[in-house]
Chains A and B, each alone.
Chain A
Amino acid sequence: MSVYDAGLLSDIGILLLGALSVYIILATGQLSLGNAGFMGIGAYLTSWLTVVAGLPITAALIVAALVSGAIGVAVGFPALRLKGIYLAMATLGFGEMVRSFFQNFSAMGGSEGFHGMHHVSTGYIWTWAAIVLVLIMLIEASPIWLEIRAVRDDETAAGLVGLNPTEIKVGAFGCGAAVAAIAGGLFAHHHVYIEPGNFSFERSIDFVLAVILGGSTVAPGALAGAVILVVLPEYLRFLADWRFAAFGALLIGMLLVRRQGLLDRALLRFAWPRSRA
């Protein structure tokens, strides 16, 4: 595999994790535009743990996921009071707050960034991506997913059958934040250099786009979306400066034709008739 292909594949794996972090939260009916903030927390914390504290990368990723997950739970509680566009704006604010924090946090390089991490391979990135994707697909096939979907459908009705919507929504925020942190840690150790600008609002939008494009009702949709977002611009290179405009037009066309995204349950059931998709 060429270095170029390996780079693309790594980018897909990291974007897949970022998209899955949004997908978990979206599954409960909440839209987060701040997952780049959780990714940034994961990137900086993992880097500090490996470079300064000397922890192995896997242990550092787990610690960063736990810390970011706890922060996600803390963010999830006030987010319970908000819905729709207001929640999206609040999470966007959180993401920008995190970026701004690292911009001014000189102990981790501030605006000059942080380096010194060891490079991780594409295989390592994909091991994490595959583990998280399979884990979410297993949850999708379990009764837990019914509970999550019930909360998304109608919180009051979910409460009336004995579910605790608060726990489920806050838990989803925590899990999403943990997965975003893993994406951040892998990003930092793949590029071996990070700066606050890596975790800006545009990164959060990429995560959401991957989910919306690939399919927001099934976890493999995040994979399809990540592939489209990373690979398609490369195939449009012959358009030179026009390629992003063409990419945008393709996105609009795709959403007009297939609002639910590329993959959905019906398509997966058609492709794998015996699956529970």
Chain B
Amino acid sequence: MLRVRDLVVRYGAIQAVRGIGLDIAQGEIVALIGANGAGKTTVARAIAGLLPYRGEIAFEGEVLKPNNAERNLHHGISLVPEGRGILGTMTVQDNLLMGLYVRRDKAQAMKDLAALLERFSILAERRHLLASLMSGGEQQMLAIARALLSKPKLLLLDEPSLGLAPKMTDAVFTMIQDLRREGLTVLLVEQKARQTLKIADRAYLVETGRVITSGPAKEMIDDPVVSETFLGGRATAAHP
């Protein structure tokens, strides 16, 4: 579904991503794990079309143009950015309506919104509240719900657990699994490596802008490099 080859992204003189390649198949949860500053967010933002880059990103066989978020959204790529990117001075409902902006099928879109509010009942309860007044977990729900309203084929989630309480983090990870069961493809960018690897199908470990290792997520939990670097160097068997 998504093919990334030799991706290079620079911020001025700094090369944040140095020739990364990755593949995502339909219906997969693929994790991009790594330390802070490794280049994970930059990869997600390049795929979403928010950054200029060198290399090739192809989605469903079509090569995407860099720095064209609007077009990529129409292709079916939706990013929930780090920090959620909710529109704080707008109500929950207005935020959700913005999620429908790219939809041409307005009647169906409104039905989808109604269905979504049934699914995320907390958003229905808070629909007239300013988005900035909601808790971090609720804001994350809103950000994901808004992204879903654009009917994405590929959902890019950048640090969805950032700043959330453990219970809310669990809820978000459960939701990601539910979305995959419904057929959605997910690229999950996370620092919480252990929890991420448990729900992902495959994973890429990124360090200083390069992929250090990759493979099936379950195997990567036992990978010595991953274990040493991100799981505290402890054997997974001891921490099931």
Contacts and interface: CB of A to CB of B under 8 A. Distances in A.
Q: Do A and B come from one complex?
A: yes
Interface residues of A, number: 17
A159 B70 CA distance: 6
A162 B102 contact: yes
B70 A156 contact: no
Interface stretch (A10-18, A147-155, A208-216): A147-155
Given A150-B87, A150-B98, A153-B87, A160 B74 contact: no
Contacts, number: 62
A161 B102 contact: yes
B90 A149 contact: yes
Interface stretch (B52-60, B78-86, B166-174, B179-187): B78-86
Contact of B73 (A146, A150, A157, A160): A160
B78 A160 contact: yes
A143 interface: yes
A161 B50 contact: no
Nearest to A143: B97
B88 A153 contact: yes
Interface residues of B, number: 24
A146 B94 CA distance: 7
Most buried by A among B48, B99, B101: B101
B101 A157 contact: no
A104 to B, nearest CB: 40
Interface in B83-117: 85-90, 94, 97-99, 101-102
A147 B101 contact: yes
Contacts of B150: 161-162
Given A150-B98, A162-B102, A162-B150, A157 B86 contact: yes
A146 B97 contact: yes
Contact of B69 (A147, A154, A160): A160
A128 B62 CA distance: 51
Contacts of A152: 89
B146 interface: yes
A164 B90 contact: no
Contact of A159 (B69, B87, B147): B69
Contact of B101 (A153, A154, A156, A162): A162
A8 interface: no
Interface in A154-178: 154, 156-164
Interface in A211-238: none
A164 B88 contact: no
Contacts of B86: 154, 157
14 contacts: A146-B94, A147-B101, A150-B87, A150-B98, A153-B89, A157-B86, A158-B87, A160-B50, A160-B69, A161-B98, A162-B69, A162-B101, A162-B150, A164-B70
Interface of A: 143, 146-147, 149-150, 152-154, 156-164
